[in-house]
């Protein structure tokens, strides 16, 4: 009987990109469980790099999520994007990060599946289907879980790069899980250039819109600010139709930078409209949003800053997770 991938001794694989990956040894030797041991029940979504199914493990009768890794346009074996996601998830273990259980294979190397814990719904679908919007205490519950997950990721030197409500899963017990690590990257010092064409447009930080190739955990924090705003506003905060429109919406929200600021790109603005958009929000809540929406990524709030925010320590206090789905 083969063990879950996380218990296997890894081997190293290197690709033309220069990246070094830890790959479960039994993957290379063909000892993964076959996908035929799982019954596909229905298709539940499509991630950045693969289609996701709801499936039943025939051995344990457990319901799982099974993501088929995209293999298009790959000439030699597993695509680097799929390896990145496997490698990152194998090394993560946190209550607010989706758990990779094992890797299973089809009849050939071009058919590889990631078996992950199943979550009953994603936050985007829940927002579309709930009859009444989340209360502020429920929003605090969701965001504290998100910030705890991000704190763990960033301390593990991983930037997610595609945070949005559809990539946040919720269990029936109201536990939030960050999912879809197809665009995630490890980072270090010195920072290496990365493509700015990441993060769904509505959640994309200004530095990405301005084509910065140096990316830090601050891009995740900007996206988290957009998610917080969306939960409070009950609709997307910055629903741009194009990159130019997205920049315009950001300027409308945060104010027009003066000429000197615009030339150096990073700075604060003359004024902003956050108080006008969220008139009911407490001063602590306004401060948190402003901190998350700092134009300069070097000054933007970290996950630790957010967890310690006084916004989460004032009434209405967060509800327990179970209240989210009731």
Can you say which residues are annotated as belonging to the binding site?
67
Q: Which two tokens stand for residue 14?
A: 């290197």
Tell me whether residue 206 is exposed, middle or buried, using C-beta atoms within 10 angstroms of its C-beta: 0 to 12, 13 to 18, 19 or more.
Answer: buried
Q: Which residues carry out catalysis?
A: 162
Q: Are 231 and 139 in contact (CB under 8 A)?
A: yes
Residue 25, SS3 per DSSP: helix
Residues of each annotated binding site for ATP: 67
Rounded CA separation 67/112 (Å) = 8
CA-nearest of 40, 47, 111 to 74 is 111
Segment 289-294 long-range contacts (CB within 8 Å, at least 24 positions apart): 289/225, 289/228, 289/229, 292/221, 292/222, 292/224, 292/225, 292/228, 293/222, 293/225, 293/253, 293/254, 294/268
Residue 176, sorted as left (phi over 0), alpha (psi -120 to 50) or beta, turns out to be beta
């Amino acid at each position: 009987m083969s063990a879950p991938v996380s218990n296997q001794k890894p081997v190293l694989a290197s690709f033309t990109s220069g990246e070094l990956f830890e790959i479960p040894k039994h993957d290379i030797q063909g000892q993964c469980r076959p996908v035929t041991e799982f019954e596909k029940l229905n298709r539940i979504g499509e991630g950045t790099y693969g289609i996701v199914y709801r499936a039943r493990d025939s051995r344990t009768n457990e319901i799982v999520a099974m993501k088929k890794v995209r293999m298009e346009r790959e000439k030699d074996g597993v695509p680097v994007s799929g390896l990145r996601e496997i490698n990152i998830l194998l090394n993560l273990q946190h209550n607010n990060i989706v758990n990779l259980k094992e890797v299973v294979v089809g009849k050939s190397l071009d058919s590889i599946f990631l078996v992950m814990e199943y979550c009953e719904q994603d936050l985007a679908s829940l927002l579309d289907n709930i009859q009444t919007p989340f209360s502020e205490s429920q929003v605090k519950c969701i965001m504290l879980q998100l910030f705890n997950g991000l704190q763990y990721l960033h301390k593990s030197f991983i930037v997610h790069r595609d945070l949005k409500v559809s990539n946040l899963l919720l269990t029936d017990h109201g536990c939030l899980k960050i999912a879809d690590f197809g665009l995630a990257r490890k980072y270090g010092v010195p920072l290496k250039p990365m493509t700015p064409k990441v993060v769904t447009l509505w959640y994309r930080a200004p530095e990405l819109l301005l084509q910065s190739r140096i990316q830090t955990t601050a891009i995740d924090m900007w996206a988290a600010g957009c998610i917080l705003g969306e939960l409070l506003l009950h609709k997307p905060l910055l629903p741009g139709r194009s990159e130019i429109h997205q920049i315009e919406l950001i300027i409308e929200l945060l104010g027009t930078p003066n000429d000197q600021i615009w030339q150096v790109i990073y700075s604060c603005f003359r004024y902003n409209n956050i108080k006008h958009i969220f008139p009911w929000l407490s001063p602590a809540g306004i401060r948190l949003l402003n901190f998350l929406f700092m134009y300069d990524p070097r000054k933007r709030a970290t996950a630790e800053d957010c967890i310690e925010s006084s916004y989460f320590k004032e009434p209405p206090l967060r509800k327990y997770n179970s209240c989210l789905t009731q």
